[in-house]
């Protein structure tokens, strides 16, 4: 259920309704909008009797939410969510460029990459310190040492840090160093991790599971929002299909559907989506054309020497060329890369 307030409703009127919702044992979510404030209600097992709110002032209308995902849906919040950073934003006019290696491997590697992607125009640096790997014998990441190196790279370049939290235990440590906490595809339905991220103070980048439907992605995001963290960025990163020549099948159609059904920003990761470095630039361009709010690209100083995901990582030169092209495409779709 959504309570849509009158445009001139006072803070006091809003707070009184929130109090009533809590008294009923449910959770109120105040959602500011351009025209009016709305109050989403979660935690109710079934429909709520509107009579509970009959004598409250300031209410314009009470709207039942038809979708299973509530806070994530455009029904509840028609305007796009924009996540603001001091010097960047995700979900507004600006296209977010997140670039960097799959994993932080060394001080030299991450600093060199940070400087290169910054020069090319990226505002966010990615790099895993805790790596979820298919094999326990593969490089697992530098862990806290990797996080420290990312913080050093931020210090040096001003780039914001996007890095993965692999489990509930290490989430607080990741939260301390990261500007955006990434939840990986394999963890999309790790409900304890989603709930913990919902209590975190930093925005969350939630990747679509390689087996997950769009509705399941929305429901996973709902776990985070329902805990009070409304700063969620969805990420399409390819799904498993019968195709074997590509690592995954990048579902750009999903971007257009997500945009229709949800107010949350959506970015695309063509690197994991295709798994082939040469195919990454054309897919990144297609993603922006399809309406994505940003792209996340794996960039490595020497892709052939990368400790993880080398075959899908592009070098600095390709990234520079790609950025020039993305800037042109952004203009065509009325967006910008600054
Ligand atoms: C990553 O971004 O490095 C990663 C592990 O991606 P995914 O969770 O999408 O496989
Ligand atoms: Mn990777």
The pLDDT > 70 percentage for the chain reads 100
Please, which residues bridge with residue 297 across strands?
99
Instruction: Specify the pLDDT at position 22.
Output: 97
Ligand nearest to the CA of 240: 1
Taking residues 211-223, report their average pLDDT: 98
Q: Ligand 1 test: best mutation among 98, 126, 185, most atoms within 8 Å of CB?
A: 185
Distance CA 119, CA 18 (A): 47
Calculate how far, in angstroms, residue 208's C-alpha sits from the geometric centre of ligand 2: 14
Please, which residues bridge with residue 124 across strands?
98, 160
Calculate how far, in angstroms, residue 312's C-alpha sits from the geometric centre of ligand 2: 8
Ligand 1 atom at minimal distance to the Cα of residue 208: 9
Residues with CB under 6 A from ligand 1: 102, 128, 132, 184-186, 207, 237, 272
Task: List the Cα angle 147/150/154 in 5-degree steps.
Answer: 140
Instruction: Specify the pLDDT at position 34.
Output: 84
| pLDDT single digits (tens) 283-329 | 999 999 999 999 999 999 999 999 999 999 999 999 999 999 999 99
Average pLDDT over the chain, rounded to an integer: 97
Instruction: Specify the pLDDT at position 114.
Output: 98
Calculate how far, in angstroms, residue 184's C-alpha sits from the geometric centre of ligand 1: 5
The pLDDT > 90 percentage for the chain reads 96
Nearest CA to ligand 1 atom 3: 102
Burial of 253 (0-12, 13-18, 19+ CB in 10 A): exposed
| pLDDT single digits (tens) 238-284 | 999 999 999 999 999 999 999 999 999 999 999 999 999 999 999 99
pLDDT higher than threshold 90 for residue 33? no
Instruction: Specify the pLDDT at position 133.
Output: 95
Nearest CA to ligand 1 atom 4: 184
Distance CA 330, CA 258 (A): 19
Q: Ligand 1 test: best mutation among 103, 186, 272, most atoms within 8 Å of CB?
A: 272
Calculate how far, in angstroms, residue 120's C-alpha sits from the geometric centre of ligand 1: 23
| pLDDT single digits (tens) 59-117 | 999 998 889 999 999 999 999 999 999 999 999 999 999 999 999 999 999 999 999 99
Instruction: Specify the pLDDT at position 276.
Output: 98
Calculate how far, in angstroms, residue 170's C-alpha sits from the geometric centre of ligand 2: 19
Could you please report the per-residue DSSP string of 121-171?
Answer: T-SEEE-BSS---SSTTS----THHHHHHHHHHHHHH-PEEEEE--STTTH
């Amino acid at each position: 259920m959504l309570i849509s307030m009158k445009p001139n409703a006072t803070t006091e009127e809003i707070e009184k309704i929130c109090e009533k919702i809590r008294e009923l044992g449910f959770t109120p979510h105040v959602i500011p909008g351009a025209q009016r404030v709305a109050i989403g209600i979660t935690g109710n097992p079934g429909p709520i009797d509107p009579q509970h709110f009959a004598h409250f002032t300031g209410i314009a209308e009470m709207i039942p939410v038809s979708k299973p995902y509530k806070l994530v849906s455009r029904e509840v919040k028609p305007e796009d969510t924009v996540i603001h950073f001091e010097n960047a934003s995700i979900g507004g006019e600006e296209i977010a460029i997140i670039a960097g290696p799959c994993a932080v491997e060394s001080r030299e590697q991450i600093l060199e990459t940070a400087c290169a992607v910054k020069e090319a125009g990226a505002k966010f640096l990615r790099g895993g310190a805790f790596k979820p790997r298919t094999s326990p014998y593969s490089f697992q990441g530098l862990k806290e040492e990797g996080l420290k190196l990312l913080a050093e790279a931020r210090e040096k370049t001003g780039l914001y840090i996007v890095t993965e939290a692999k489990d509930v235990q290490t989430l607080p440590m990741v939260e301390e160093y990261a500007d955006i906490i990434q939840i990986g595809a394999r963890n999309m339905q790790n409900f304890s991790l989603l709930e913990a991220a919902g209590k975190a103070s930093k925005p969350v980048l939630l990747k679509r599971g390689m087996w997950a439907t769009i509705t399941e992605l929305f429901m996973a995001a709902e776990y985070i929002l329902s805990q009070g963290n409304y700063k969620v960025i969805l990420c399409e990163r390819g799904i498993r299909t019968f195709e074997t020549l590509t690592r995954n099948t990048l579902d750009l159609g999903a971007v257009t559907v997500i945009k229709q059904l949800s107010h949350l920003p959506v970015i695309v990761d063509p690197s994991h989506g295709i798994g082939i470095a040469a195919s990454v630039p054309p897919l990144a361009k297609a993603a922006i054309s399809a309406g994505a709010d940003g792209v996340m690209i794996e960039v490595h100083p020497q892709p052939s020497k990368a400790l993880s995901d080398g075959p899908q990582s592009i070098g600095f030169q390709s990234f520079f060329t790609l950025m020039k092209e993305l800037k042109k495409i952004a203009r065509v779709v009325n967006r910008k890369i600054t």
